[in-house]
């Protein structure tokens, strides 16, 4: 969806809503940051190791049309000065007094427990969890497996296990039943390659992704969740002779991904964890499997100061297959299809005022495999203003 169309939709909505209920709410977050990474050749190296200033802007605009109908939206802009529309959906709550709500459009995908921590104000760290950030050696341009040439992942051309903030075009229904919660969704893409980040946002895989999330809150301060998704993650490249999918249908190579998560709140301490098992079915009868995890803890020392730590990692399976080599010819390979990685993050935050947060974060990245362990630790300093 273009920026012009989005603004026209907001303008039209405002004209309709204002005479009826005048319930149009706008809020946002503005982030200014300084980043310094080491200069090793790695996908985690920012700006080739140069000291860098950057910024981010998030805007949330919601319109209540009636007691049960609302427009929900949030947009994001980075220093690339391109408007990213993350969410733009219509929600109908308590449909026919059933307790079920339905949301359609560009929705947030109900997978895992990332939640509002996708935004800088609610995220105690500088980045999202490693499983949302890491770019694998499976190249999303042609779906060749570049194990012998990991520079494709370094350059940002690989497929992620979880596609960053997880938004996509689709429809979802959700609700609660006592201590239980449920969400189901149909989306254009899949968890690893969502429509949000495809060139036009439309369905390019020939099938729909199916997502389910169940949660239970047995006692106050404790929530357990389970998520599962299934569907084609490769786009249709049947007629592209340069693609590994030439002559193949993407529906024959689905993604299966499941996760379990936990959220605990005890006084000033909050603990969150998630484990994910992902399987990509691939050519030649191979399965590209990965197990990832993330565990974090945050403790509020005073109303203004917090300290946090997070550890995450990804373990990749081994394969025996012909893979693309430097001269674009197939070569035999036996081993892990990507380097195992871990990340340790330390962070501290100081709330200068109620709406102004200062964060100091440090990431320690480690890779284990054929690519070695490049120098790619990252220092991040953020100031986040909410309005």
Sequence ranges of the domains in the chain: 3-386
CA distance linking residue 160 with residue 97, whole number of Å: 39
Residue 141: which pLDDT band, with cuts at 50, 70 and 90? confident
Report the top-level CATH class of 3-386: mainly beta
pLDDT at 248 over 50: yes
Which range among 196-200, 217-221, 244-248, 257-261 shows the weakest confidence by mean pLDDT?
A: 196-200
d(CA 314, CA 293): 7
Per-residue pLDDT reduced to its tens digit, 220-245: 999 999 999 999 988 887 777 777 77
Percent of all residues in the chain with a pLDDT value above 90, rounded to a whole number: 70
Res. 132: pLDDT tops 80:
yes
Is residue 197 very low, low, confident or very high in pLDDT (cuts 50, 70, 90)? low
Binning pLDDT at 50, 70 and 90, where does residue 199 land?
low
Torsion of CA 32, 38, 39, 41, to 10 degrees: -100
Mean pLDDT of 292-306: 97
Please tell me the pTM assigned to this model: 0.89
C-alpha 301/C-alpha 307 separation (Å) is 7
CA distances, 377 to each of 71, 156, 380, 385 (Å): 41, 17, 10, 26
Q: pLDDT of 34-87, one tens digit each?
A: 999 999 888 999 998 999 999 999 999 999 999 999 999 999 999 989 999 999
| Tokens 């992902």 belong to residue | 278
Distance in angstroms (rounded) separating the CA atoms of residues 334 and 152: 19
């Amino acid at each position: 969806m273009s920026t012009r169309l989005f603004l026209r939709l907001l303008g039209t909505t405002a004209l309709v809503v204002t005479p009826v209920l005048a319930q149009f709410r706008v809020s946002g977050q503005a982030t200014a940051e300084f980043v310094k990474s080491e200069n090793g050749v790695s996908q985690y190296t920012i700006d080739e190791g140069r000291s860098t200033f950057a910024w981010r802007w998030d805007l949330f605009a919601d319109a209540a049309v009636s007691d049960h109908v609302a427009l929900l939206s949030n947009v994001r802009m980075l220093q690339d000065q391109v408007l990213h529309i993350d969410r733009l959906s219509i929600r109908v709550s308590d449909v026919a007094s059933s307790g079920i709500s339905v949301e359609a459009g560009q929705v947030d995908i109900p997978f895992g427990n990332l939640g509002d921590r996708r935004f800088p104000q609610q995220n105690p760290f500088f980045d999202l969890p490693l499983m949302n950030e890491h770019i694998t050696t499976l190249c999303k341009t042609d779906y060749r497996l570049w194990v012998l040439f990991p520079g494709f992942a370094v350059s940002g051309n690989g497929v992620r296990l979880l596609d960053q903030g997880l938004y996509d075009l689709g429809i979802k229904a959700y609700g609660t039943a006592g201590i239980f919660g449920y969400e189901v969704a149909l989306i254009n893409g899949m968890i690893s390659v969502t429509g949000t980040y495809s060139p036009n946002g439309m369905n390019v895989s020939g099938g729909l992704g199916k997502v389910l999330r169940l949660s239970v809150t047995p006692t106050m301060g404790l929530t357990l969740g389970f998520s599962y998704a299934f569907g084609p993650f490769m786009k249709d490249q049947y007629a592209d002779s340069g693609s590994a999918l030439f002559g193949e249908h993407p529906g024959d190579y689905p993604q299966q991904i499941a996760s379990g998560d936990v959220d605990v709140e005890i006084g000033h301490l909050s603990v969150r964890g998630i484990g994910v098992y992902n399987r990509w079915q691939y050519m030649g009868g191979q399965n590209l499997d990965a197990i990832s995890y993330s565990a974090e803890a945050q403790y509020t020392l005073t109303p203004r100061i917090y300290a946090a730590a997070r550890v995450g990692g990804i373990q990749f399976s081994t394969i025996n297959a012909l893979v693309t080599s430097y001269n674009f010819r197939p070569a035999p390979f036996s081993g892990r299809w990507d380097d195992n990685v871990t990340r340790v993050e330390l962070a501290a935050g100081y709330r200068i005022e109620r709406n102004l947060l200062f964060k100091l974060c440090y990431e320690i990245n480690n890779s284990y495999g054929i690519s070695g362990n490049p120098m790619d630790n990252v220092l991040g300093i953020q100031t986040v203003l909410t309005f």
